[in-house]
Amino acid sequence: MSLVITGATGHLGRLVIDQLLAAGVPAGRIVATGRDVTKLGLVAEQTGVTIRTADFTGPASLVEAFRGAERLLLVSTTTVGQRYDGHRRAIDAAAAAGASLIVYTSILNADSARMRLATEHRDTEQYLRTGHLPYVILRNGWYLENYTDQLPVIRQHSAILGAAGNGRVSAASRADYAAAATAVLTGEGHSGATYELGGEAFTLTELAATFAEVLGTPVAYRDLPTDAYAATLAGAGLPADFADVLADADAGLARGELFTDRHDLRDLIGRSPTTRLQAIRVATAASAVPAT
């Protein structure tokens, strides 16, 4: 019987594959799935994990993709507005394939958050709760990478833009959330649990101060009205719908929807989650231009 990972062609799923292997799970027990599995050719060659195509818009192929699954990690998909239908198909396929546990990556405070991003997570959680398949819900908080990926723009403008006010975000690295998923997939006693996962909490003003400290140059946090922030993101080239979703998430952050004071992440991974200072230092070092 195997551990089947969806979204393994993406950042989080790929980290889970690496961490399962590092934890000593035999490659023969791991099935890595995604839509575009050409991205996984090298990992299959190097590690021997099984690769299968799984597109949540094609239910027939999904049962085959999940064949032999003992436990399945359902990584939430990316197309906001079409996610719930796909998640439902994946859950049905996992049950049809005979999985005994499904682990779903949701969003922090999914039951109470009003931000648009939470809606399909809440619906997916509800579908899991009313089904017959034992489940674990990992309510992942914001990724630190959402901020460190902005490093070039932050450097250029000496500013972070947002609509988060003085809200606090409990962020951690993707690798931390992958470690939590790995712990649940390889551990016992988690069935039925809902974990609120987040790391150190900070405001975006505090985040800007940490960027300033690491870069050695002033960085300000500029708070905008939600609409103005969405317009700025769209003006920078993001599709308008996605810009709206991100600005709406910042409004949720301002209301405290991406904050948790629970220590579920630390308890699951057995160490403190990555801090913003550590993440910014690593991202800054990685982006350093070698002297010529």
54 binds ligand NAP (CB under 6 A): yes
CA 67 to chain centre: 25
**The binder of ligand NAP chosen from 13, 198, 199, 252 (CB under 6 A):** 13
Contact 99/70 with Cβ under 8 angstroms? Answer: yes
Residues 229-258 as x/- pattern, contact with ligand NAP by CB under 6 A: ------------------------------
**The binder of ligand NAP chosen from 142, 202, 211, 221 (CB under 6 A):** 142
49 binds ligand NAP (CB under 6 A): no
75 binds ligand NAP (CB under 6 A): yes
Contact 184/25 with Cβ under 8 angstroms? Answer: no
Q: Which residue is nearest to ligand NAP (CB)?
A: 10
**The binder of ligand NAP chosen from 18, 27, 29, 35 (CB under 6 A):** 35
31 binds ligand NAP (CB under 6 A): no
34 binds ligand NAP (CB under 6 A): yes
Binders of ligand NAP in range 157-186 (CB under 6 A) = 174
For ligand NAP, which is the closer residue by CB, 10 or 131? 10
| Rounded least distance, CB 289 to ligand NAP, Å | 26
77 binds ligand NAP (CB under 6 A): yes
The label of the residue with tokens 């712990």 reads: 183
For ligand NAP, which is the closer residue by CB, 7 or 25? 7
Which of the ranges 138-146, 200-208, 236-244, 261-269 carries the binding residues for ligand NAP, by CB under 6 A? 138-146
Note the residues at the interface with ligand NAP (CB under 6 A). Answer: 6-7, 9-13, 34-36, 54-57, 75-79, 86, 105, 140, 142-143, 146, 174
